[in-house]
Amino acid sequence: MTTQSRHSPWLLGGIAVLVYLFLYAPIAVLTALSFNASRLSGSWEGFTLAWYLKAVTNPAVLAALRNSLLVALVVTVIATAIGTAAALGRQRGGGGGAAEASIMLPTVVPEIVLAASLLLLFASIGLRLGFATIVLAHVGFTVSYAFVVVKARIAGFDHSLEEAAMDLGAGPLRTFFLVTLPAIAPAVLAAALLVFALSIDDYVVTSFVAGVGATTLPLQIYSMVKSGVSPEINAVSSVLLAATGLLLWGTFLLEQGRSLRVAAVPAVLGLAMLAAPFALARGQAGRGETVLNLYIWSNYIAPETLAKFEQRHGVRVNVDLYDSNEAMLAKLQAGNAGYDVICPSDYSLQVLIAQGLLRPLDRAALRHLVNIDPLFLDRPFDPGNRFSMPYFWGTTGIAYNRRRVTVPVESWGVLWDPRYRGRVLMLDDPREAFMAALKWKGHSLNTTDPDVLARARDLLIAQKPLVRAYNSTNFEDVLLSGDVWLAQAWNGQIAKAMDQDPDIAYVIPREGATLFIDNLAIPADARQVELAHAFIDFTMEPEIAAEICRTMRYSSPNRAALPLLPEDLRRDPAVFPPREVLDRLETVQDVGEATVTFDRMWTEIKTAR
Amino acid sequence: MTARRHATWLLVPCLMALLLLVYLPQVLMFAVSLGHRSAYGAVVYGTSPSNYWRAIDPLYAWILWRSLLLALATTVTCLVLAYPVAFWLGRIIPPRWRNALLALIVLPFWTSFLVRMYAWIVLLRSEGVVNQALAAAGLPALELLYNDAAVLVGQVYGELPFMIIPLYVSLEKLDGTLLEAAADCGAGPLRRFTQVILPQTLPGIVAGCVLVFIPSLGAYLAPDLLGGGKTAYVGNLIQSQFATARDMPFGAALSFLLSLVVVLLLLAFRRPIRAAGSL
Amino acid sequence: MKGAVSVRGVTRAYGNVVAVCDVSLDVAPGEFLTLLGPSGCGKTTLLRLIAGFERPDRGTIHVSGNDVTAVPAHKRPVNTVFQHYALFPHRTVRGNVAFGLEIEKRPPAEIARKVDEALDLVRLGGLGNRRVTELSGGQKQRVALARALVLEPDVLVLDEPLAALDPKLRKEVQIEIKNLQERLGTTFVFVTHDQDEALVMADRIAVMNHGRIEQVDGPEALYERPRTRFVADFLGVSNLLEVTPHTRDHGRVRLRTASGLEFDADDDGGYELGRAVWVGLRSERISLVDRAGNVLDGVIDDEIFLGDWTDWRVRVGPGGDVLSVGEGNVLARSRRRGEVVSVCFPPDAVMRLDDDGGERPGG
């Protein structure tokens, strides 16, 4: 029994309105900006649907959407069926309090725990990561929600209806379909819509258990977010929000006891929003179509280049992205990743070779090998290049805004200058961060001397108050947006940033820096071996290598490609530093057991105040 | 009795699915946590609890502590914000509007957490909407992103509906005649609140707190996106063990510890949670 | 044999509670049998056992001569009218009535015809296309009836179907159902806790208490000659006295209560001198006016006006036993509390009851 309260309605109402605003403001802003013609969130430059168009025709987005829908569909059927059965059983007195509690427990457990344990499960039974693992994982965490929803709604279910049906001659099965199911239909549908929405939206669990070519929409959005703040993401996000919002509104209406027809309106609208681009998406590889699975760094190859390869060989290239060697290593070490070509950096190549995870290359298939500058061949991490071919090389240096940073930038020490408190960005990479500290004090970046490392750690801890963020994905955006003035950075993306803003400069400090060489390699369990070789060889063709360098701005190890590059690119010191600078550079080597020490110290740095 | 046994069979697929996908992996998690990492990051099984000692080591214990604090801060903030809203919804708004307004609160919660965190980035960046507004008003820009405060905002944003609902349920069920009786005995508004409303809504408060606290312990996306890589919480720590450091045994130990804390909390507060289970 | 129900030694327990204890009952074909008793006496359980929703722990059940003990509900020729009607909410009236026929896979034309007949039978013709949620209680009850009868069952069981109707409607429907049953000739097993309802409708009544049948008899026999104290009490005998017979004389027995009240009863051979026994005395057989048979002095203790009759509470005997005396108000005379009166009843009005009628041992 509720009565109207005599408490002051205005104060409470005011707070309530503020909370509602709080809840909806970010969403509203996001949606509004998705229609903004300007790339920057600051200024409004007119209403446009261009970003939506871009998002809807982005092949990666479409593929991810397709995957999300397929997964969600399968998961919905399974989880709803199982959850409904359990709710019915429980409502009829089956099981007990313990059974019910254990079914409901997963709804409260932190997602990270569920995600990690599922990854371990799949890794330990050798199940290849892919669609199946996502479906299983999603069923695992959604079935509890289906149970809760159905159970709540059928609480008052009248058993005498089922008895009446049996009394009139219907056996148990016919009773279920003719009487029980229609009676609980709204509950079941509400549960189905909820499961669907949860599956479509999930990021954490999916990120742990997704495999090749099974990128879902949230994973795609995440990688886009990490790559920069573009209105295209706003558009995709808004669509996702609107679609799932409509689905959930339908759930809500059904739970409230409204008729199916009324609840169907928003639900169908939501589904339509998700399905529409689906019609435009390219189909999954048909039985005849061959697919090459490429696992590569973000910002490392342009879609146009890939398209050329696809056309030439009549195949499809499926691209999955990563932004750290560790992420790539983790995927491969878990086994059964399913990739045909990967792009490990120097030291991670060492690890992969030592663990026997790579396939030796067949020289005969790599005719364009001769184009590679011998400077980048036969390096310690892969003597004789038995397993890899250089793809890109680059440097880690300091990028900065010339207008803001008026002192000369020559040493790593500038990143410790208290004048730039809160305006510094460091790469979110333990080896790179340590490199800056180690090099500054004249040590090798591959040292394993515990005292030296400890001192470097202390330096990095002391640096923390100056650091605005640790970021390895879109550091150039953070610099461009003015959030930071100095950034430890990799040269390729900075070269692109320098095109956008002439105030951005890049320098390799005098103490030296990292030279990284990223190489193409073929995992031992790759399926398309011949095609993989063809792809590697393809990237070493002069025109192709030139195109790759031109579009991505990282440095090409391909001698034959250099003459084909535009003049300004060839002379750009950020992309092709002079010889004497190159001599100051060191490549990263794996430090074996000391990795644990590194990780521990990195954690200490991250948690320091 | 046979009807009951038949009914129990209906629960089997669900229980099996959860056994295989949730509970068995936890056992596995425990087994892996007793092993150690090989030189190159593979799992070497063993029987040593050294990972647990490592987890209680001051460095990591500090991170666990921070996560507890974040969870606590989130819970308290949610409670403070949610109570007035739940009160307004449950006792002031006429009944016919309640369901719709309630749905409006719940709706964002079930949509993509990722997207909503991203929306906060857009708002809080140095040149984000908030700072643009401040600049337009002639005020200095604020550093709103890539710090603990931003993580708190994001986490509260994500968990708030989970606090509002249980509070709403218990406030709505509150018998108004109790308040009238209290007033009749001479209690003013403040007294009525502290002596009648607060105690009567205690189950809802407890349930809401537990439902917000537990997921916040394992917060991962908010720190990841809004913390700028500078903030370390258990969620990110676990994730990094599985991804970056490739030390799955240690990650498993941390994760198992977290699950343990969760289970203990749920057991300790099972009665208020069950009471709020009438949602 | 068709329509006969034979229950033999049936027991059904739920944990420690024995709902039905070693019950045996025969229902003749075409009979209207009512199971009567207070809530918890087991009548509904017995009904559900006959319908097939429960299986007995011990004993057998035969319907139309066939052993149906192990036969599930949907295969028995028994249909049920549920207490809360159990109409399928997603179907119309016609849809509900047609349900069983659809299960039997009858051709559509036949289904339509039978549904019409059934609806006419319960006087609901014309409401066929209504949604069941729009019907009144009485209408829903008729639909439930039609749905069950359209399948022409051997036996129809009805679980307190009139409990939710208001008293006036209830009386009308009671008579309708009775007439319906007589016309159809189907065996009806009807459950109620209302004594009047049972007396109006039933051919025979089985009175149940704590899982056992205490007496099965026709309405008059039950009314005139209740066998146990429980039955007497349940059927409204307001005077129940524990007495000890102490002399016998010329076909009469002199009975004496613990507090010294003495009166005579007809000796039916069942009284044992010196052995305590319970007797019942209907209040309407006691008169404040006549002077024949047992005449006792008494004092008016209380007056309860009940419309067409008055219940006088009169203190009689040396120990102050209170008798309930019913007097039709046609004869009424106003009396005052404390007024001395003479209470009179014939010896044959005293009904000897079989047992102490209290808690039964063994549950």
B22, A139 Cβ separation under 8 angstroms? no
Strand-pair category, C17-27 with A515-521: unpaired
For residues A439 and A415, the answer to whether their CB atoms sit within 8 Å is no
Residue C325 domain flag: yes
| A568-575: Cβ within 8 A, 24+ apart | A572/A495, A573/A506, A574/A397, A574/A491, A574/A494, A574/A495, A574/A498, A574/A506, A575/A491, A575/A492, A575/A495, A575/A549
Q: How far is B87 from chain A (nearest CA, A)?
A: 8
* A112 lies in the same domain as A138: yes
Q: How many domains does chain C have?
A: 2
Q: Are residues A461 and A532 in the same domain?
A: no
Nearest to A238 by CA among B116, B156, B226: B116
Tell me the helix, strand and coil percentages in chain B, rounded to 5: 75, 0, 20
Chain B residues closer than 8 Å to A241 by CB: 111-112, 115-116
The beta-carbon neighbor of A169 closest among C82, C86, C104 is C104
The answer as to whether A147 is a domain residue is yes
Task: For residue C334, count other CB atoms closer than 10 A to its CB.
Answer: 7
Backbone angles phi, psi at B130, to 5 degrees: -65, -50
Domain co-membership, C163 together with C291: no
Long-range CB contact pairs, A566-573, < 8 A, 24+: A572/A495, A573/A506
CATH of the domain at A150: 1.10.3720.10
Q: Would you state the structure tokens that stand for residue B230, as one six-digit string?
A: 């500078």
Q: How far is B17 from chain A (nearest CA, A)?
A: 7
Question: Tokens in use for A308?
Answer: 């050329």
Pair C199, C260 in one domain: no
Does residue A289 have a pLDDT over 80?
A: no
| Domain region containing A296 | 291-392+516-577
Given a cut of 60, whether residue A307 has pLDDT beyond it is yes
C75 near C32, Cβ under 8 Å? no
Residue A212: what pLDDT? Answer: 62
Same domain, C60 and C204: yes
Which of A159, A168, A188 to substitute to test the interface with C, most C CBs within 10 Å? A168
SS3 of residue C107 by DSSP: coil
Q: How many helices (H) and strands (E) does chain B have?
A: 16, 2
Residue type, C56: P
Q: Do A168 and C84 touch (CB under 8 A)?
A: no
- The answer as to whether C35 is a domain residue is yes
Q: In this complex, do B28 and A237 lie within 8 Å of one another by their Cβ atoms?
A: no
Tell me how many residue pairs between chain A and chain B have CB atoms under 8 A apart. Answer: 376
| A168 belongs to a structural domain | yes
Question: Does C78 contact A167 at a Cβ distance shorter than 8 Å?
Answer: yes
Long-range contacts of A10-17 (CB under 8 A, 24+ apart): A11/B84, A12/B84, A12/B85, A12/B87, A12/B88, A12/B92, A13/B88, A13/B92, A15/B81, A15/B84, A15/B85, A15/B88, A16/B84, A16/B85, A16/B88, A16/B89
Mean pLDDT over the full length of chain B: 82
Question: Residue C333 falls within a domain, yes or no?
Answer: yes
pLDDT at A489: 93
C237 and C122 in a common domain: no
- Report, as an integer, the average pLDDT of A118-147: 87
Q: What is the tens place of the pLDDT at every residue in B46-65? A: 888 888 888 888 888 888 88
Question: Does residue C192 share a domain with residue C49?
Answer: yes
* Residue A32 burial (C-beta neighbours within 10 Å; 0-12, 13-18, 19+): middle
C82 vs A: CB within 8 A = yes
| Helix, strand or coil, per DSSP, at residue C18 | strand
Q: What is the pTM of this model?
A: 0.75
pLDDT classification of A108: cutoffs 50, 70, 90 = confident
The tokens for C125 are 């013709």
- Looking only at the bridges linking them, the beta strands covering C155-159 and C78-81 are parallel
Whole-number pLDDT of residue A459:
94
Same domain? For A108 and A230 the reply is: yes
Given pLDDT bands bounded at 50, 70 and 90, which one contains residue A132?
A: confident
Neighbours of chain C (3+ CB pairs under 8 A): A
A174 → closest Cβ in C73, C84, C103: C103
Same domain (yes/no): A571, A561? yes
Q: Which residues of A touch B43 (CB under 8 A)?
A: 123
Distance CA A556, CA A371 (A): 11
| Residues 6+ positions from A483 with CB-CB distance below 8 Å | A425, A468, A469, B125, B126, B127, B145, B146
Domain CATH code at residue C123: 3.40.50.300
Pairing of strands A515-521, A467-470: unpaired
Cβ–Cβ < 8 Å for C176, C169 = no
End position of a domain, from candidates C230, C263, C296: C230
Residue A42: what pLDDT? 59
Q: Report the domain count for chain A.
A: 3
pLDDT at A302 over 90: no
The answer to whether residue A441 sits within a structural domain is yes
The pLDDT of residue B262: 85
Residues C261 and C172 in one domain: no
Domain membership of residue A54 (yes or no) is no
CA-CA distances (angstroms) from residue A328 to A63, B273, C80, C121, C350? 21, 41, 68, 78, 100
Whats the size of chain B, residue-wise? Answer: 279
User: What distance in Å separates residue A260's CA from the closest CA in chain C?
Assistant: 12
Report d(CA A136, CA A158) in Å as an integer: 34
Q: What is the pLDDT of residues A581-597, one digit of tens each?
A: 888 888 888 787 787 78
pLDDT > 70? residue A288: no
In a domain, C244, yes or no: yes
Q: Is residue C319 part of a domain?
A: yes
Residue-wise pLDDT for A514-542, tens only, equals 988 899 999 998 888 999 999 999 999 99
End-to-end, the C-alpha distance of chain B in Å comes to: 30
**Does residue C48 sit in the same domain as residue C194?**
yes
| Partner-chain residue, chosen from C73, C89, C148, that has the shortest CB–CB distance to A183 | C89
CA distances from B116 to A218, B75, B78 (A): 12, 19, 17
Strands A424-426, A467-470: pairing is: parallel
Tell me what the mean pLDDT of segment A95-103 comes to. Answer: 85
Q: What pLDDT does C358 receive?
A: 46
Q: No. of H helices and E strands in chain A?
A: 25, 9
Kindly report the nearest CA distance between residue C350 and chain A, in angstroms.
46
| Residue A28 within a domain | no
Residue A442: burial class (beta carbons within 10 Å; 0-12, 13-18, 19+): exposed
Among C181, C196, C230, the domain-final residue is: C230
User: Measured between CB atoms, which of C87, C103, C148 is closest to A170?
Assistant: C103
Residue A12 is assigned to a structural domain of this protein: no
CATH code for the domain in which residue A341 is found: 3.40.190.10
- Give the chain A residue nearest C88 (alpha carbons): A161
Least Cα separation, residue B230 to chain A (angstroms): 5
List of chain A residues whose C-beta atoms are within 8 Å of the C-beta of residue B94? 4
Closest residue, chain A, to B21 (C-alpha)? A140
| Contacts A–C by Cβ distance under 8 A | 64
Tell me which of C84, C103, C132, C141 to substitute to probe the interface with A (most A C-beta atoms closer than 10 Å): C103
Distance, CA of A315 to CA of A531 (rounded, Å):
9
Evaluate whether residue C360 is within a structural domain. Answer: no
Residue C103 to residue A168, Cβ atoms within 8 A: yes
Within this chain, do residues C39 and C153 fall inside the same structural domain, yes or no? yes
Is residue A13 included in any domain, yes or no?
no
**Which of C6, C2, C8, C9 lies closest to C26, judged by CA?**
C6
Q: What is the pLDDT of residue A471?
A: 85
- Residue A424 host element (H or E): strand A424-426
Pair (C211, C278) in one structural domain:
no
Alpha-carbon span A173 to A179, nearest angstrom = 10
| Residues A403-413, mean pLDDT to the nearest whole number | 90
User: In the prediction, which pLDDT does B141 show?
Assistant: 72
**Claim to verify: residue A145 and residue A184 sit in the same structural domain:** yes
* CA-closest candidate to residue A422, choices C175, B147, B258: B147
CATH code for position C247: 2.40.50.100
Domain boundary among A254, A279, A304: A279
Cβ distance of A168 and C148 shorter than 8 Å: yes
Instruction: Tell me, yes or no, whether C206 and C255 share the same domain.
Output: no
How far from chain centre, in Å, is Cα A37? 26
Identify the CA nearest to A243 among candidates A56, A47, A33. A56
Q: How far apart are CA A217 and CA A134, in angstroms?
A: 13
Pick the CATH number of B73-276 from 1.10.3720.10, 3.20.20.210, 2.60.120.680, 3.30.710.10: 1.10.3720.10
Q: What is the DSSP string of C188-224?
A: EEEEES-HHHHHHH-SEEEEEETTEEEEEE-HHHHHH
Nearest to B110 among A15, A244, A468 (CB): A244
The answer to whether residues A114 and A140 touch, using CB atoms and an 8 Å cutoff, is yes
What is the model's pLDDT at position A334? 67
Residues in contact with A488: Cβ distance below 8 Å, sequence separation at least 6, in sequence order: A396, A397, A398, A399, A415, A425, A426, A427, A432, A433, A436, A475
Q: For the residues of A58-91, what is the DSSP string, one character each?
A: -HHHHHHHHHHHHHHHHHHHHHHHHHHHHHHHHH
A363 plus A418 within the same structural domain: no
Nearest by CB to A164, from C86, C104, C151: name it.
Answer: C86
Last residue of a domain, one of A279, A303, A338: A279
Distance from CA of B104 to the nearest CA of A (A): 8
Contact state of A168 with C151 under an 8 Å Cβ cutoff: yes
Q: Is residue C359 part of a domain?
A: no
What tokens appear for C178 in the block? 């009775």
Chain B CA closest to residue A425: B228
Beta carbons of A168 and C78 less than 8 Å apart? no
Instruction: Tell me which residue of A381, A378, A351, A312 sits closest to A531, measured CA to CA.
Output: A312
Are C209 and C335 in a shared domain?
Answer: no
Which residue, among B98, B79, B80, B78, has the nearest Cα to B88 in the 3D structure? B98
Contact assignment for B62 to A607 by CB distance below 8 Å: yes
Q: Are residues A208 and A270 in the same domain?
A: yes
- Residue A5 placed within a domain: no
Structure tokens at C49: 């056992």
Residue ranges, chain C, pLDDT below 70: 331-332, 355-363
Model pLDDT, residue A56 = 75
Same structural domain, C130 and C177: yes
CB A55 within 8 A of CB A236: yes
Tell me the residue range of the domain where C310 lies: 233-353
In which band, very low, low, confident or very high, does the pLDDT at B246 lie, cut at 50, 70 and 90? low
Q: What is the mean pLDDT of chain A?
A: 84
Of residues B214, C42, B246, the one with CA closest to residue A123: B246
Q: Count the alpha carbons within 13 Å of A427 in the hemisphere toward its beta carbon.
A: 23
Final residue belonging to a domain, choices C168, C198, C230: C230
- Our CA dihedral for B218, B220, B226, B230, rounded to 10 degrees, sits at 90
Q: Tell me if C362 is assigned to some domain.
A: no
Q: What is the DSSP string of A175-229?
A: HIIIIIHHHHHHHHHHHHHHHHHHHHH--HHHHHH--TT---HHHHHHHHHHH--
